[in-house]
Amino acid sequence: MLGSVYRAELPDGKILAVKKLDKRVSDQQTDDEFLELINSIDRIRHPNIVELIGYCAEHGQRLLIYEYCSNGSLQDALHSDDEFKTRLSWNARIRIALGAARALEYLHEQFQPSVVHRNFKSANILLDDDVSVRVSDCGLAPLITKGSVSQLSGQLLTAYGYGAPEFESGIYTYQSDIYSFGVVMLELLTGRQSYDRTRPRGEQFLVRWAIPQLHDIDALSKMVDPSLKGNYPAKSLSNFADIISRCVQSEPEFRPAMSEVVLYLINMIRKESQQSESNE
C-alpha cells in the first residue's frame, strides 16, 4: 500500500531493495517532513530490522533504499513456495517468531521515542540467507496516519485478517501491533494465509477460525501445517498456541508486552534444545 518495491543492482554487484513510495502517500508530507522521517528511520538499528541504506527525493518521486533480503518474505515462504516451506522446520518457525518479536520489542520498548509499526504482517517479515528475520517498513507509520491513507491502511489490514478489533474505532497502538504479530504466529503454526477467500466461509479469516481451537489439544494438532509432517513436540505446540491466544485477545489491555513474548519464545527454544540433548 505504501508503494512498490524493486530489486536493484549496483555496478559492483551489490543488491539493494528500492521502495518507490506511492504518490498518494508521499504527497501527504512536505519535503521537510520527509527528511525528518528519513532521519528518524536512519536511527532505527537492530539485527532483526531491515536497514535503510539511503533515499532519493527528486522529480516528484521519493525512494527509500534498503538492504536486500535474499529469501524474500515470510508470506512468500509460507504461501507461495512449497519447496522452501518444507525447509521451515518447527524449530525454524519458532526462531522466525522470535526474530520478529525482538524487532517489535525494540521498536516498542527500547527505541526512543518508541515506534508503532502499524503495518505488521508476514509480507513485511523478510528472510535472509540463513533464514534470519528482518522486519521491513519500520518507522513508516507517519506515512499512513493521515486522512484517507490512514483509513485505507486500517481497512486493508482488517480485510487481510491482521487488523485488531479496535481498528473499527480508528484506534491503533502498540497493542494493535501485538495482535498482528499473533496472526503471523498463526500463519507459522497452520501454514494458512491470514485471509483466504477460497476456503469455506467460516475458515476464511484465520483468527476467527483458529481461536476456538487453540486450547483443544486434538483440534490443535489438526490445525498444524501439514508440511511439518508431525515433526514437533506436542508441549512446544501447546506453548506456541498459548502465546498466540494471548496476543490475539480482543481487549488490547490483555495482550502481553513484546518483551514478555520474547522471553516465552526464548524459553521454548531453550527447552527444545535441552529435550533434544537428553534424547541423544
Pick from 67, 94, 114: which residue ends a domain? 67
Asked if 167 and 30 sit in the same domain, the reply is no
Asked if 172 and 54 sit in the same domain, the reply is no
Pick from 22, 49, 67: which residue ends a domain? 67
Asked if 38 and 83 sit in the same domain, the reply is no
Task: Summarize pLDDT for 19-58 with one digit per residue, the tens.
Answer: 999 888 778 788 899 999 999 999 999 999 999 999 999 8
CATH of residue 168's domain is 1.10.510.10
pLDDT band with cut points at 50, 70 and 90 for residue 275? confident
The residue segments making up the domain with residue 54 are: 3-67
**Per-chain mean pLDDT for the chain:** 90
pLDDT for 179 beyond 90: yes
What mean pLDDT comes out for the span 64-86?
A: 91
Asked if 79 and 176 sit in the same domain, the reply is yes
Task: Summarize pLDDT for 234-266 with one digit per residue, the tens.
Answer: 999 999 999 999 999 999 999 999 999 999 999
Per-residue pLDDT, 149: 44
Asked if 126 and 220 sit in the same domain, the reply is yes
CB 42 within 8 A of CB 115: no
pLDDT for 88 beyond 60: yes
Q: Which residue has the cell 540433548?
A: 277
Task: Summarize pLDDT for 190-229 with one digit per residue, the tens.
Answer: 999 999 999 999 999 999 999 999 999 899 999 999 999 9
Pick from 67, 84, 115: which residue ends a domain? 67
For residues 75-105, b (16+ Cβ closer than 10 Å) or e, as one string?
Answer: bbbbbeeeeebeebebbebbbbbbbbbbbbb
| Maximum distance among all Cα pairs of the chain, rounded to whole angstroms | 63
Asked if 95 and 30 sit in the same domain, the reply is no
Cis peptide before 233 (omega within 30 of 0): no
Asked if 129 and 49 sit in the same domain, the reply is no
Per the DSSP assignment, residues forming a β-bridge with 192 are none
What mean pLDDT comes out for the span 173-200?
A: 96
pLDDT band with cut points at 50, 70 and 90 for residue 148? very low
Measured CA to CA, the distance from residue 145 to residue 5 in angstroms comes to 21
Asked if 217 and 120 sit in the same domain, the reply is yes
Per-residue pLDDT, 172: 87
Question: E-strand spans in the chain?
Answer: 3-9, 15-21, 52-58, 61-67, 125-127, 133-135
CATH of residue 30's domain is 3.30.200.20
Domain count along the chain: 2
Residues 6+ positions from 74 with CB-CB distance below 8 Å = 96, 122, 123, 125, 126, 127, 133, 184, 187, 188
Measured CA to CA, the distance from residue 100 to residue 49 in angstroms comes to 8
